[in-house]
Amino acid sequence: MISSGDPDETRRRALDESVCRLICPIASAMVGVCMTGIGVLRVGNSVHGDSTWADDLLSIDAVTFLLATLSSYFALRVHSIRRLHWLEHIADATFILSMVLLTIACFVITYSLRW
């Protein structure tokens, strides 16, 4: 970490990096969750013949979780504070969007599949 000499700046950069360190592994694990959900839906749809758009929603969700993962990873790799904050905002926004999409997909799965 490059220090600017200002203790507040150093503390804020450390806090931003800690947020990125949390988003990166969680978002990457959620890509796996989405892929598992897609696989389970595909098996269920082939057995029962029902089709929903939940697997499409989960695939879009996996891409947005990937964007959150990549932006948080690259935020950890940059040395510019402005770029760190920019990438951190992207990571935050895409992570929250992904969680909302995952919740919507859960509702679609719950209310459209009849086992």
Domain enclosing residue 88, as ranges: 23-112
Q: In sequence order, what DSSP letters do the residues of the chain get, joined into one string?
A: ----S-HHHHHHHHHHHHHHHHHHHHHHHHHHHHHHHHHHHHHHHHHH----SHHHHHHHHHHHHHHHHHHHHHHHH---HHHHHHHHHHHHHHHHHHHHHHHHHHHHHHHH---
Residue 8 resides in a domain: no
More reliable by pLDDT, 84 or 8: 84
CB 94 within 8 A of CB 50: no
Residue 87 lies in a domain: yes
Q: Kindly report the CA angle at 23 between 20 and 24, in degrees rounded to 5?
A: 85
Q: What is the mean pLDDT of residues 59-68?
A: 94
Q: What angle do CA 68, 74, 80 make, to 5 degrees?
A: 125
Residue 28, in any domain of the structure: yes
Q: Which two tokens stand for residue 39?
A: 């696989």
Judge whether 42 lies within some domain: yes
Instruction: Provide the domain count of the chain.
Output: 1
Task: Establish if 45 belongs to a structural domain.
Answer: yes
Say what the pLDDT of residue 17 is: 67
**pLDDT (0 to 100) of residue 96:** 95
Confidence of residue 99 (pLDDT cuts 50, 70, 90): very high
Question: Whole-model pTM?
Answer: 0.75
